[in-house]
Amino acid sequence: MELLKDEITVILTVWKRDYLKYQLPLILKQTKKPYQIWIYQNESHLTIPDDIRKQLNISLIQSKDINFKFHGRFTLPLLCNTEYIALFDDDSMPGELWLENCLETSKRHNCIVGANGRILNEDFLQSDVESSIGLGDGSPINEEMEVDFNGHCWFFKTEWCKYIWQDRPKTWDNGEDIHFAAACQIHGGIKSYIPRMPAGDRKEWGDMEPKFGHDEHATWRNPDHSHLRSKIMKHWYKKGWNPIKMR
């Protein structure tokens, strides 16, 4: 199937956070208009209002009784007909220039783009907890830069989604961000980047309101979160992932 050049499918995820009412208007205000918007509801904890369901080019995809965890949403690009995917966590609130910023950055570097990212420390193999440097997360980025993996929102070529399914996850309970970046690098030679997000203009940011990610549903609040992610990082390193500081 030939993909629609330069067109973007936006995939929004819904679980227990009732943030769609904040997030969707920001997507509709994008200067680079998405070709279509898919709302992926993982289980049925919330009711999606009828006025959202009836909007043009917005489709609801629901796994009503099954929780497909973190990785399930990465199956949806396999069904898309656009050249690009923009996949958002439910707490990511993009500025109106975000998709435009992503498209330009992706074309320059042929890369995955995200609003934040991590660079693994040299000692991550010896550490029992996640050992990395966080970039973004509500802080400005003066110059675009390569990272080991992105989180919270991802912009990428639709065809790259196949790489995440060439290997089973270490676990279904976390680490889809690490898995996606590592698999794309191992199988496709694809890097991950954070674009420039200037301090004085949040319209280019991928997440203008990081406070939404600090509620009771935040995964990082799980006591085992950092230990589990450390195991996932080591797993992908053994499979051939080449972090920046190990090159």
CB 135 within 8 A of CB 117: yes
Q: Note the pLDDT of residue 80.
A: 96
In a domain, 137, yes or no: yes
129-166 confidence digits (pLDDT tens): 999 999 988 889 999 999 999 998 999 999 999 999 99
In a domain, 180, yes or no: yes
Beta bridge partners of 120: 132
pTM score, whole prediction: 0.93
One-letter amino acid identity for 127? S
Rounded distance between C-alpha atoms, residue 30 and residue 143, angstroms: 22
- Strands 36-42, 58-63: pairing is parallel
User: Could you please report the per-residue DSSP string of 154-165?
Assistant: EEEEGGGHHHHT
In a domain, 131, yes or no: yes
Range of 145's domain? 7-246
Q: Note the pLDDT of residue 223.
A: 65
In a domain, 59, yes or no: yes
For the chain, what is the total number of helices (H) and then of strands (E)?
Answer: 6, 11
In a domain, 157, yes or no: yes
In a domain, 32, yes or no: yes
> Which domain CATH number covers 57?
3.90.550.10
In a domain, 100, yes or no: yes
Provide the angle, in degrees to the nearest 10, between the axes of the packed helices 176-188 and 225-238: 10
Average pLDDT over residues 109-128: 96
Q: Note the pLDDT of residue 200.
A: 87
Checking if the pLDDT of 196 tops 90, the result is yes
Q: What is the count of structural domains for the chain? A: 1
Q: Note the pLDDT of residue 221.
A: 56
The pLDDT mean for the chain works out to 92
214-246 confidence digits (pLDDT tens): 555 446 456 688 999 999 999 999 999 999 999
